[in-house]
């Protein structure tokens, strides 16, 4: 998934989350569902959302896309896994601006709350050689 940037209009953002809901609702609730993507969302450290986002967000405050993402996650009974694990900020960052001054954690891994213990580790890998300005986010899953 790739969400519209913060600068895009509300209509394009609404369409993105409506499509996300449509796709998500298509899957049966008995299977593990994991959503991966560039949500362009900074999810903050607000206490009210701790059960959904954990304590380890790179950001203290949410942006507009973060609000939308957290509402989507809560409405679908999901958990954002890469804001749960304690890591140095360098391993939370999923994007760095070309001038190296701005660091964001905007790519996220979402999983059904029921299955969230199945993912026992998530972090970004800054050294990976990829043809994008984002760092890969890698999760380790428990075998069943």
Domains of the chain, residue spans: 10-141
**Top CATH class, 10-141:** alpha beta
Q: How far apart are CA 35 and CA 19, in angstroms?
A: 13
Q: Rounded to whole angstroms, how far apart are CA atoms 135 and 142?
A: 23
User: Above 70 in pLDDT, residue 144?
Assistant: no
Q: What pLDDT, in 10s, does the model give residues 53-79?
A: 999 999 998 999 999 999 999 999 999
Query: Looking at residue 49, what is its pLDDT?
Result: 87
The pTM for the full model equals 0.90
58 with 110: CB under 8 angstroms? no
C-alpha 57/C-alpha 113 separation (Å) is: 18
């Amino acid at each position: 998934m790739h969400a519209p940037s913060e600068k895009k209009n509300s209509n394009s953002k609404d369409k993105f989350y409506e499509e996300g809901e449509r796709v998500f609702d298509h899957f049966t609730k008995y299977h593990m569902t994991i959503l991966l993507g560039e949500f362009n969302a900074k999810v903050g450290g607000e206490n009210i959302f701790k059960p959904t986002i954990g304590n380890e967000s790179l950001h203290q405050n949410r942006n507009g896309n973060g609000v939308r993402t957290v509402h989507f996650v809560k409405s679908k009974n999901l958990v954002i896994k890469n804001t749960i694990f304690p890591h140095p900020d360098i391993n939370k960052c999923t994007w760095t601006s070309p001038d190296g001054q701005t660091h964001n954690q905007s790519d996220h891994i979402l999983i059904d709350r029921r299955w969230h213990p199945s993912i026992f580790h998530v972090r970004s890998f800054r050294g990976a050689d990829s043809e994008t300005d984002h760092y890969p986010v890698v999760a380790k899953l428990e075998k069943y």
